[in-house]
Amino acid sequence: MPAPAQAQERVLGEETIDPGIHLVFEAAPKDDVTPYDQNLAESKTDVHLEVLTTWSENPDVEVPEGVQRGGFVGYLNVYATITNEKTGRTEKVELIPHVTLGDAMHYARNVSLPGNPDDPYAVTVDVQPPAERELAFHESWREAHGQPLFEATRFTYNELDLADVAAATRP
């Protein structure tokens, strides 16, 4: 049997939402993540879903005064629903803050796919602003941008082939 291929993250999609938050949705090879009692074991994982949340680095995108372009946007609530498009089975997970070399801070979760890795999948990601008691807003921010931080939003990516990511290992 050949050794599993080593793969990098696969970008599922990129979006920018007001006020200048850049989102990158990725499927990555399974990983060893601690604390173990809060994360699916690498041996039970098919893919590691990630969302990179940063203030846009694109100079054509307006970002709030004082934020660091490319800096992590924290306190978000991120949920993913993985749907097996062949069987209709689903798996829903909350993506939680992670830190790693390379991507640094991001939201992610080890996931067991609801079916065969060769099946086609849809991934729907719900990105919600911090809850009322999770982030305080100064008057200057409220006057310039209002609150909440942004409106809850949903992105869906269909007909995804995740087999090569599921078969891959990290270097």
**Consecutive sets of 10 residues in the chain, 171 residues long: mean pLDDT of each?**
60 97 97 93 96 98 96 97 98 96 93 97 98 94 94 98 93 77
Contact 47, 27 (CB under 8 A): yes
Write down the pLDDT at residue 169. Answer: 87
Write down the pLDDT at residue 168. Answer: 92
Residue-range domains of the chain with CATH:
10-167 (2.60.40.2480)
Query: Which element (helix H / strand E) includes 107?
Result: strand 104-111
Map tokens 């069987």 to a residue. Answer: 87
Write down the pLDDT at residue 6. Answer: 52
pTM attached to this predicted model: 0.92
- Greatest C-alpha distance within the chain: 62
Which residues lie below 8 Å from residue 133, measured CB to CB, with a gap of 6+?
none
